[in-house]
Structure 1
């Protein structure tokens, strides 16, 4: 009787510790949020706040194409039709002179406004024209984000922009979630350079990291019983095999205190890469957003110049 009761209790524990991770967890539609933007601006100087709010008002309150026109850079916002029902919003950063073209892929739970300041500096200081796409469901892009469609969306977008690249050096750059899209585009189109910021390695590593995170402290005793289930197609999301096949210039920036996507993920990608021109930049602090801290962003710019 005692053994039967023990088995019953264990069965209940194991069943109750099985969790389903859906696609939306890793790929969350993120529209513009004026309130969060205003909170960000509260910490800015008055001149910077006024300029930023003016830009944001144009982006969120209108469908204007011309966002900024200045002596150093022009920023345009346009829309690209995937099909009759899906329209994607994208931004184009054009400095006065440029000899490189960067395709920038954003992270999860963000949109283009979060990267404005950094991409303006990158464009001007590295003499690069930058194209940055809002995924389905992000910003003013329509539709629902999915890994099933985003890779093909990215390729269609690249094909759309490619005639404008001319002889400019093409670079693919991705942050966090965007790293898998950046790698895919760079490999499939043999782009000259790939830059990964706080990248993910693969779904398997991500699941293990989430399992450990969710069983910290006293919950650690439950770790052997935790079971995480994901849809089969999500298990195919990986930077590992594609990085292994990519042979051109590779730069990886990852912070050792990144709690969202651990440093070991970036290190793993660096170690398995067969590129003859690769470098891993170990950022000392800043967490998952470390690449965008001013001192680190300047180093990233210097690697592109």
Structure 2
């Protein structure tokens, strides 16, 4: 099986169809569970209904809005695309305008209610970030006014609407701001989902944090969950994008090693060669992985830890699967404690360093990670 799949990828790579194959076999964009609506000063005065949605002591105020058009499931995606074209007027708004995050109702149970997501613990602001070829990428900013900010890369088969509760829990329990971006082809983000575009996505998100929101590089902690470990490690290994720290949850060593962990040398056409790139990350790295993960084996975490030069901790809790680390009753408190301690460690580390940018960037000594990899010529 290993040689069959690698042979197929190599053939597609030589034919120039490698990205198309990656898009088909590796990425699972879901139907959008939210939309972004241009924020207006008087927007909140017109909202009719209020309701509370709480979990784990998080109080989120949701304001329901009657949709302008009554739509059914069949034309729902067409309706969303039409709204996005209408509200994105960047000639009128030369700066990046702010959007409300609209959680779409489940049409089978709550047919006519969408609502604006509000929170008592942080401000909730959404953006569309401009990409190349007139594409747009959806992002959400949960601002806790903290010293550090988490740049979050989500997992597969989900969009920002699906992970919003998780992000709000994170903000509340760690007192840290979060900025989450969405991969091309997912949710409200334009384009085609493949590893090349996903890396471009995180580069754009990082640039937005620096130049639009005004964060310093060492204030940024990159967090990659599952497939999000790919863009996160790629960014952290690039000397052009210095960061304060890196967190990897349920990550993998490379795409092809998901088929066979025994691969010794990463082929040039592999997806997300994390095992090769993580050795070029010099900021502190915290790796966590469930011992009962049936999707990605804990061996991937161990391989990444072996290659990490500034490993803060490798944490492999028992009885934890691929996606329940922060929701498991027994490990939830410990999970947030470890995250907070890692953030505090980074803060103390930065205070003692005269040259923050030089210390907390990727190694910049003329070497480049995976020089024979496809990314070297395709990303920029």
Class of the TM-score when normalised by the shorter of the 2 chains:
0.7 to 0.9
**Per-residue CA distance 1:240-293 (angstroms, 9 max, x = gap):** 122111122111110111111101001111122111x42111121232113232
Once residues 202 and 271 of structure 1 are traced to their aligned partners in structure 2, the CA distance between those partners, rounded to angstroms, is 14
Q: 1:156-171 counterparts in 2 under 5 A?
A: 156-163=204-211, 164-167=213-216, 169-171=219-221
1:284 match:
318
In the alignment, which of 238, 257, 276 is matched to residue 241 of structure 1? 276
In the alignment, which of 112, 130, 134 is matched to residue 85 of structure 1? 134
In the alignment, which of 307, 321, 338 is matched to residue 303 of structure 1? 338
What is the root-mean-square deviation in Å for CA atoms of aligned residues?
A: 3.3
2:122 match:
73
Structure 2 residue 234 is matched with structure 1 residue 200: no
Residue 83 of structure 1, CA deviation: 2.7
Q: Give 3-state SS (helix, strand or coil) of 2:169's partner.
A: helix
Structure 2 residue 163 is matched with structure 1 residue 115: yes
Q: Is the 8 A contact 1:100 1:127 kept in 2?
A: no
Q: Is the 8 A contact 2:61 2:119 kept in 1?
A: no
Q: 1:196-235 counterparts in 2 under 5 A?
A: 196-208=248-260, 234-235=269-270
In structure 2, the gaps of 5 or more residues are 10-20, 35-51, 68-76, 85-97, 102-116, 341-380
Structure 2 residue 185 is matched with structure 1 residue 151: no
Once residues 209 and 100 of structure 2 are traced to their aligned partners in structure 1, the CA distance between those partners, rounded to angstroms, is 18
Q: TM-score, normalised by structure 1?
A: 0.73
1:32 match:
32
Q: Give 3-state SS (helix, strand or coil) of 1:278's partner.
A: strand
Q: Is the 8 A contact 1:198 1:291 kept in 2?
A: no
Residue 127 of structure 1, CA deviation: 2.4
Residue 209 of structure 1, CA deviation: 6.0
Structure 2 residue 143 is matched with structure 1 residue 103: no
In the alignment, which of 232, 241, 244 is matched to residue 182 of structure 1? 232
Q: 1:265 to 1:54 in 2, by over 3 A?
A: farther
Q: 1:18 to 1:291 in 2, by over 3 A?
A: same
Once residues 85 and 192 of structure 1 are traced to their aligned partners in structure 2, the CA distance between those partners, rounded to angstroms, is 31
Q: TM-score, normalised by structure 2?
A: 0.60
Residue 52 of structure 1, CA deviation: 8.7
Q: Give 3-state SS (helix, strand or coil) of 1:292's partner.
A: coil
The number of aligned residues is: 256
Once residues 284 and 177 of structure 2 are traced to their aligned partners in structure 1, the CA distance between those partners, rounded to angstroms, is 19
In structure 1, the gaps of 5 or more residues are 1-13, 35-45, 211-231
In the alignment, which of 298, 303, 324 is matched to residue 268 of structure 1? 303
Residue 160 of structure 1, CA deviation: 2.0
Q: Is the 8 A contact 1:172 1:191 kept in 2?
A: yes
Q: Is the 8 A contact 1:99 1:127 kept in 2?
A: no
Once residues 200 and 51 of structure 1 are traced to their aligned partners in structure 2, the CA distance between those partners, rounded to angstroms, is 33
Once residues 56 and 243 of structure 1 are traced to their aligned partners in structure 2, the CA distance between those partners, rounded to angstroms, is 45
Q: Is the 8 A contact 1:98 1:129 kept in 2?
A: yes
Higher-helix-fraction structure: 1
